[in-house]
A = this chain, B = another copy of it.
Amino acid sequence: MAKHFDRELEKLKKKILSLGAMVEERVYLAIKAIESRDPDLAQKIIRLDHEIDETEVEVEEECLKILALYQPVAIDLRFIVAVIKINNDLERIADEAVNIARGVSYLSRKKKIFYFDFDFSQMVEKTQSMLKGSLDALVNLDTDLAFKVCILDDEVDKINGEVHRLVKDAIRDNPEQGEHLVNLLLISRHLERIADHATNIAEEVIYLIEGEIVRHGDLNS
């Protein structure tokens, strides 16, 4: 029984990590689509989202099966519950990648020359490293890394705030670019949401290891 359980747990771990890798790739593609304004790439992200949805459902069914069959306790139970929640966050990160792709799809249809273009590279870099960090923290049960992810979230929030201010000023100066500018603002918000979900994953990992709920707390205090 214990051997079966370990095997199931191993299988579940692999499955959630493979979902994590899929989601990481979608975010990577969405970011490439922002940079290249490539409508085909954007369409591909939208078209393939069902793969993520299907894997999410499989992971949850796997979790329910393990809970019912093996009735795990202590750290194993906490792990399964963490996977149920992380699974949810991963699927929503992929949804944000789709939202970004939709924004890019719109931008690529416009042939205007823009007076304002925000350089998302820093925000993109931090968000990607948060997502990667949260998944690595899960694989290696690494609390330090998970804490680093949570702290990076403040920086992404700050950049998002900056984009807001810049966009609002740019709208005042170049009103005819309003639609384009609002799209940039929304891309920034989608990135910020991805960072939020990565933080949720990192907080789950910390809870899993330390048994302590850090969400809603101020990590900088």
Contact = CB atoms under 8 A, between A and B. Distances in A.
Interface of A: 50, 53-54, 56-57, 60, 63-64, 67-68, 71, 73-74, 77-78, 81, 84-85, 88, 164, 167-168, 171-172, 174-176, 178-179, 181-182, 185, 189, 213, 215-216
Nearest to A207: B60
Nearest to A213: B57
Contact of A171 (B50, B64, B71, B171): B171
B84 A77 contact: no
A33 to B, nearest CB: 20
Chief secondary structure at chain A's binding surface: helix
A167 B182 CA distance: 9
- Identify which of A67, A84, A181 gathers the most chain B CB atoms within 10 Å of its CB: A67
B64 A68 contact: no
Contacts of A215: 53, 57
A205 to B, nearest CB: 15
A81 B65 CA distance: 12
A67 B77 contact: yes
Given A68-B74, A68-B77, A179 B168 contact: yes
A172 B178 contact: yes
Given A50-B216, A81-B84, A182-B182, A171 B175 contact: yes
A182 B164 CA distance: 9
A156 to B, nearest CB: 16
13 contacts: A57-B216, A64-B78, A67-B77, A68-B74, A84-B84, A84-B85, A85-B85, A88-B88, A164-B182, A171-B171, A171-B181, A175-B178, A178-B178
